[in-house]
Amino acid sequence: MKRILNPNCKKVRGSHVLAVSCAHCKTFIAHYQKVGESNFVKMYNERIIDGAVDFSQYHGAIFCPNCNERIATRYMTKMDKKEAYRLVPSAFHKRKVTV
């Protein structure tokens, strides 16, 4: 599995790590530092640890590198004006992992 480190990643205290994968073909997409137990609807760029996609660059959308399914769409959060990706609800699987 190809993993490209995200140089924008900041360590988030008290977070747990989710492995996000494509719902269609199970291909690994990214490791993400999630805070709290709220619904997983977005990924802040700075909380993405690494991924199959190069997150040092901003993408208009995140596509599965294997089957090209759209996983998430780039947007700017309203509250804190941060680079983030809004996840397509049915396009991904997530599970807690330890890295």
Question: In sequence order, what are the residues at sequence separation of 6 or more whose Cβ sits closer than 8 angstroms to the Cβ of residue 90?
Answer: 23
- Taking the complex as a whole, the smallest distance from the CB of residue 68 to Zn ion amounts, in Å, to 7
Contact status, residue 31 vs residue 99, Cβ threshold 8 Å: yes
- Taking the complex as a whole, the smallest distance from the CB of residue 38 to Zn ion amounts, in Å, to 26
Question: In sequence order, what are the residues at sequence separation of 6 or more whose Cβ sits closer than 8 angstroms to the Cβ of residue 68?
Answer: none
Question: In sequence order, what are the residues at sequence separation of 6 or more whose Cβ sits closer than 8 angstroms to the Cβ of residue 94?
Answer: 18, 19, 20, 21, 40
d(CA 44, CA 83): 6
Judged by CB under 5 A, does residue 73 bind Zn ion? no
Judged by CB under 5 A, does residue 63 bind Zn ion? no
Judged by CB under 5 A, does residue 66 bind Zn ion? yes
* Binds Zn ion by CB under 5 A, chosen from 48, 64, 84, 91: 64
Judged by CB under 5 A, does residue 88 bind Zn ion? no
Q: Which of residues 1-40 bind Zn ion (CB under 5 A)?
A: 22, 24-25, 27
Catalog residues that contact Zn ion under the rule CB under 5 A: 22, 24-25, 27, 64, 66-67, 69
